[in-house]
Amino acid sequence: MPKIKKLLVANRGEIALRIMRTAREMGISTVAVYSEADRISPHVKFADEAVCLGPPPSNQSYLLGDKIVEVCKSLGVDAIHPGYGFLSENAEFAKMVTNAGLIFVGPSPQSIEVMGSKLAAKQAVAKYDIPLVPGTEEAISDISIAKARAQEIGYPILIKASAGGGGKGMRIVESEQEFEEQMQRAVSEAVSAFGDGAVFIEKFITSPRHIEIQVLGDQFGNTVYLFERECSIQRRHQKVIEEAPSAVVSPEMRKAMGEAAVGVAKACDYYGAGTVEFIVDDQLNFYFLEMNTRLQVEHPVTEMITGKDLVREQIMIAEGNPLSFAQEDLKINGHAVEIRVYAEDPKNNFLPDIGKLVTYRRPQGPGIRVDDGFEEGMDIPIYYDPMIAKLITHGENRQDAIDRMIRAINEYRITGIQTTLDFCRFALQHGAFTSGQFDTKFVERYFTPDKLEPVFTEEEKELLAALAVEFYSKEENRINPTLALKEVPSTHWKNRLI
Ligand code: ADP
Ligand code: ADP
Ligand code: MG
Residue 345 reports pLDDT greater than 60: yes
* pLDDT given at position 495: 54
Asked whether the beta carbons of 276 and 265 are under 8 A apart, the reply is yes
The CATH number given to 134-203 is 3.30.1490.20
Ligand 3 mean position to 118 CA, how many Å? 10
Residue 497 reports pLDDT greater than 90: no
Question: How does pLDDT run across 422-475, given as a tens digit for each residue?
Answer: 999 999 999 999 999 999 999 999 999 999 966 677 787 888 888 888 888 887
Residue 127 reports pLDDT greater than 90: no
Question: How does pLDDT run across 200-235, given as a tens digit for each residue?
Answer: 999 999 999 999 999 999 999 999 999 999 999 999
Asked whether the beta carbons of 344 and 418 are under 8 A apart, the reply is yes
> Residue 266: phi, psi to the nearest 5?
-65, -35
Architecture of the CATH domain 209-452: 2-Layer Sandwich (3.30)
CA angle 233, 327, 405 (to 5 degrees): 30
Q: How high does pLDDT run on average in the chain?
A: 94
How many whole angstroms separate alpha carbon 15 and alpha carbon 56? 18
* pLDDT given at position 407: 98
Cis peptide before 156 (omega within 30 of 0): yes
Ligand 2 mean position to 110 CA, how many Å? 23
Cis peptide before 449 (omega within 30 of 0): no
Percentage of residues of the chain with pLDDT beyond 70: 96
In the chain, what are the domain boundaries? 6-105, 134-203, 209-452, 459-497
Residues acting as catalytic residues: 294
Residue 314 reports pLDDT greater than 80: yes
pLDDT band at 491 (very low <50, low <70, confident <90, very high): very low
pLDDT band at 37 (very low <50, low <70, confident <90, very high): very high
* pLDDT given at position 496: 53
pLDDT band at 2 (very low <50, low <70, confident <90, very high): confident
Q: Does domain 6-105 have CATH number 3.40.30.10?
A: no
* pLDDT given at position 498: 45
* pLDDT given at position 482: 65
Any alpha helices (H) in 328-430, and if so which ranges? 398-411, 421-429
421-429 and 398-411 helices, crossing angle to 10°: 150
* pLDDT given at position 83: 98
**Which residue in 290, 338, 316 sits closest to 81, CA to CA?**
316
In the predicted model, what is the mean pLDDT of residues 85-102?
A: 98
Order of strands across the sheet that contains 157-161: 170-173, 157-161, 199-203
- Closest ligand to the CA of 239: 1
Ligand 1 atom 4: residue of nearest CA: 297
Q: Is 84 in the pocket of ligand 1 (CB under 6 A)?
A: yes
In the predicted model, what is the mean pLDDT of residues 158-180?
A: 91
* pLDDT given at position 455: 61
CA distances, 201 to each of 144, 309, 491 (Å): 13, 37, 49
Residue 20 reports pLDDT greater than 70: yes
Ligand 2 mean position to 58 CA, how many Å? 25
In the predicted model, what is the mean pLDDT of residues 326-340?
A: 98
Residue among 160, 230, 234, 297 to mutate when testing ligand 1 (max atoms within 8 A of CB): 297
Asked whether the beta carbons of 163 and 198 are under 8 A apart, the reply is yes
462's enclosing H/E stretch is helix 458-473
Q: Is 165 in the pocket of ligand 1 (CB under 6 A)?
A: yes
In the predicted model, what is the mean pLDDT of residues 125-141?
A: 91
Residue 489 reports pLDDT greater than 70: no
Q: Which amino acid makes up residue 116?
A: G
Residue 49 reports pLDDT greater than 70: yes
* pLDDT given at position 165: 86
Distance of CA 123 to the CA centre of its chain: 26
Asked whether the beta carbons of 332 and 255 are under 8 A apart, the reply is no
List residues bridging with 1 in a β-sheet. Answer: none
Question: How does pLDDT run across 353-406, given as a tens digit for each residue?
Answer: 999 999 999 999 999 999 999 999 999 999 999 999 999 999 999 999 999 999
**Which residue in 254, 244, 240, 291 sits closest to 423, CA to CA?**
240
Residue 141 reports pLDDT greater than 90: no
- Closest ligand to the CA of 298: 1
Range 154-159, long-range pairs (CB < 8 A, 24+ positions):
154/203, 155/204, 156/204, 156/206, 157/201, 157/202, 157/203, 157/204, 158/201, 158/202, 158/203, 158/204, 159/183, 159/186, 159/199, 159/200, 159/201
CA distances, 398 to each of 86, 336, 434 (Å): 33, 7, 9
